[in-house]
Structure formats: C-alpha cells, structure tokens
Amino acid sequence: MKPAPADPRTIEDAAALLQRGQLCAFATETVYGLGADATNSDAVLKIYETKGRPRFNPLISHCADMEMAGRFGDFSPLARSLADAFWPGPLTLVVPVKPGAGLSDLVTAGLDTVGLRVPAHPMAREMIAALGRPVAAPSANPSGKLSPTTADHVRTAFAGAVPVLDGGPCQRGLESTILAVTDEAVTQLRAGALAREEIEAFLGRPIALATPNAAITAPGMLKSHYAPNAPLRLEVAAPEPSEAYLAFGPGTAHAGPLLNLSETGDLREAARNLFSHLARLDASGAKSIAVAPIPQAGLGEAINDRLERAAAPRG
C-alpha cells in the first residue's frame, strides 16, 4: 500500500490533492468530510473503499456557492428560496440532477437526484472554489461509526491513512439536515443541524417526514449508523454502576465514566458535543453506554435520530 500523502498545509495544497484524484478530509461547520472530486469516478470510488460504505448509499456534493450548485442541480423556485435562506449552512437539498453536468454516477448512486450543499465553513468553500468543482464528502469515518468533529478524530479513525486539512473543531457537531424538494413538496429525509422548526417557520407550513421504510435516497438513512463500539441504552435516567453515562442537564452524578452533553440543557451545545463525548465514553472501556433522555424539540430531533441509529441492531 502506498503511504498516504502528507497533511495539506494550505487550502491550495488540499485542492491540489483533490485535483490529482486523491482523497482529502476537511472541516465543515457540521462534521469533517472525506472529500473527493465529485466529477472523478475513480476518486469517488476511493471514498467508498476507504469508508467501507455501501455503494447504494448516495453522497452529498459540497459546492462553493449557489452558482456552482446550479450547474449540477435543477433548482425549482422553492428549492432556490430554501438555498437563498439557509446557504451557506447545514442544509442539504436533494434536487433533480442536471443531465450531462458531469457528476460521477457513483455520487448519485444511480439516482436521478443529487444532494447539494454550500457549507458555512469558509475554509471548505475556499478549497472547493480553488478546485473549481463540487467535492463529494460523506463524514470522514469508517461507515457506520461515529462522525468526526476534529482533525484528530479523522486521523485516529483511519490510522493516519487519510490526509486532513485541519480547520479546527466543528461548530455544529451534527450532520446537515437533508430536504428533498419536488415541485412544491418538501420532505425531510434526515434531521440535522438545522432544526425543522426553523425550516417550517421560513416556509410558513409543516413539512413532510420520510417514512421509516423509505428507499435510501440520501445519506444518513441507514437504520444502523453513527455507532460506537459499545452498545447504547437510551432514555436512561439511572444508569447501572458498570455503565458509562452520557448525561444531559444539571445535577447528574454517576460512579462510572460520565460526560454531560450540556449541564445547562442547551441543545445546541449538546449537538456540538454528541459525537466527541460518545467517542470518549467508548474509549473508557465500559461494556455499554447509557444515555439520558433528550428532549425532542428543536435540535433534539436530530440528536435523538443519531442516538436511535447508533443504538439500532447491527447487521
């Protein structure tokens, strides 16, 4: 096996790696992504091989701005209004792919739609602009495992085999919210770092939710996902002494390994800490991790979604 390229020191170094068909992990405001040139099928294939990701699971393509996104996706007036309202930011829009635009079929998993996003992290946008093409980038972790929120998480996950453009800790800590937009219909395919209430307030109406057995048309829809090595127990107010405990809110005491998502009950802080705290508790050696109840309101929907997938039976 060839040694991995050295970590890029500049945005231009990272863009050059992508230009050569190499992988490069990079920071967004949500989590670190495992990036490849979305128009290069050989490069995109390396994402699937490196992550061990099923190839029926499509990828999000990250764009530098709306102009770039519009070259690859067909945006209805409704989709454009959502992009104008929430981009750059943690929202992925699934829209019809433009035929002949040049995206790899591996990015769309053979579907006639594509997930597009303009990330809020300025370093990510500058890197994509320097490449001049969208960057396909799922989370930079082995498939099904915890998403990384620091460069060191990526280095640990892949044992240093993937170069990383270090953009500091991720500010959101949860993946993007994914919406499918068809004509005037909006369906949330994945809860994420943009709360559904914010989207509904902008639209002035409720949006539909994907059914539990819906076909996989976007990332993050697998039933078992985002999992630590230790099994999880959810909605636990009183953990067993032998368990690690992921707490939420004030006044928590536990004899075993303990981390609190937010002692003040702040869901934004909890979202930012979710994956890093689970990783630290997983490394404690506890045989299981108990998780305190998390409210469903606002970002709680996305936090509970990730916890339920992490706790799901593993195939």
pLDDT single digits (tens) 46-90? 999 999 877 667 899 999 999 999 999 999 999 999 999 999 999
- How many helices (H) does the chain have, and how many strands (E)? 10, 14
DSSP 103: -
Q: What is the pLDDT of residue 54?
A: 72
Looking at the predicted structure, is the pLDDT value of residue 254 above 70?
yes
Q: What is the pLDDT of residue 1?
A: 42
Those residues with Cβ within 8 angstroms of residue 144's Cβ, 6 or more apart along the chain or in another chain:
222, 224, 225, 226, 227, 314
pLDDT single digits (tens) 274-284? 999 999 999 99
Bond prior to 88 in cis (omega within 30° of 0): yes
Looking at the predicted structure, is the pLDDT value of residue 158 above 90?
yes
Q: What average pLDDT does the chain have?
A: 92
Average pLDDT over residues 181-209: 95
Domains of the chain as residue ranges with CATH:
11-209 (3.90.870.10), 232-311 (3.40.50.11030)
Q: With cut-offs at 50, 70 and 90, classify the pLDDT of residue 225.
A: low
Of 201 and 218, more confident: 201
Closest CA to 19 of 97, 133, 105: 133
CA distances from 69 to 74, 238, 307 (A): 9, 48, 31
